[in-house]
Structure 1
Amino acid sequence: MPQSRTNISSGSPWEATVGYSRAVKIGAVIEISGTVAVEDGQVVGLEDPYVQTKVILKKIETVLIEAGASLKDVVRTRIFVTDISQWEAVGRAHGEFFGEIRPCTTMVEVARLIAPEYMVEIETTAILEN
């Protein structure tokens, strides 16, 4: 029997233009798209990767709750940074959210993200327990 699919929207006009969803839930699996530190159309934490990471993870937590999950259901995070020398600040913020949960994670440096103000972008996978 096919699993039901739920697309979760952020309301961003880019979702329709680019053809993506903020998150997709199929059965027990929730995939959350790359998330950046934007609130009310403004980048939060300019030049501060620690602040950007905290804002991002709080946004991810909100989406998880909307999908019927929590941070405890996260099994993987993928962290993209524009300056790997800032890994400790990003890692410290990640640890504040996931220190006890300890999902698999990857942090990689990329040449740039979609806007120069973004220093961090994070994707997440969560799996609900039955």
Structure 2
Amino acid sequence: MTERRSILSGSAYEDDYGYARAVVAGDHVYVSGTTGFDYATMTIADDPAEQAAQTLRTIATALAEAGCTLADVVRVRYLLPDPADFEACAPVLRAAFGDVRPAATMQVCGLLDPRMRIEIEVDALRR
């Protein structure tokens, strides 16, 4: 039987909306859409690049609990309300994934809270 385990980050959204930050299913790790909130303080920076950095820290923590790192990411999805913010985030994203080269998609869409400037979702494969 394939292992299935949920990983929680402590975000109030996880309880409010009934989801996990990540789900481990065998060797696959699926990380939910994650925004720039610092879930310990429920604060969020105004700067889209800082939001991207905080988002990646939250994702990296979930991946570590699943037994992998950002280097194990095979798919990434970037969701932004304003496509102009993507350029500001690019250096942060390149630092995280420039050597990894996961398959990637950038989509322009509305996010739940107007303070959110980027949401990132990843899939990883445990080695």
Same fold (TM over 0.5): yes
Alpha-carbon distance, 1:55 to partner = 1.0
Provide the identity percentage.
37
**Secondary structure at the counterpart of residue 2 of structure 2:** coil
Q: Unpaired runs of 5+ in structure 2?
A: none
Distance 1:96 1:10 in 2: 23
Verify: 1:27 aligned to 2:17, yes or no: no
Q: Which amino acid aligns with 1:35?
A: T
CA contact (8 A) 2:85 2:117 kept: no
Alpha-carbon distance, 1:114 to partner = 0.6
Q: Unpaired runs of 5+ in structure 1?
A: none
User: Which range is displaced more, 12-21 or 76-85?
Assistant: 12-21
Q: Which amino acid aligns with 2:92?
A: A
Larger Rg: 1
CA deviation profile, 1:18-60 (whole Å, cap 9, x unmatched): 221110001000000110111111112x1x2111111111111
The answer for the alignment partner of 2:120 in structure 1 is 122
The change in CA–CA distance for 1:3 and 1:37 in structure 2 (over 3 A counts) is: same
The answer for the alignment partner of 1:41 in structure 2 is 42
Alpha-carbon distance, 1:72 to partner = 1.1
User: Which range is displaced more, 60-69 or 9-18?
Assistant: 9-18
For residues 60-99 of structure 1, the aligned pairs below 5 Å read 60-99=59-98
Distance 1:102 1:55 in 2: 20
Distance 1:122 1:35 in 2: 5
Alpha-carbon distance, 1:11 to partner = 2.3
Q: How many positions carry a matched residue from both structures?
A: 125
Distance 1:118 1:14 in 2: 14
Distance 1:99 1:105 in 2: 12
**Secondary structure at the counterpart of residue 84 of structure 1:** coil
Alpha-carbon distance, 1:13 to partner = 3.5
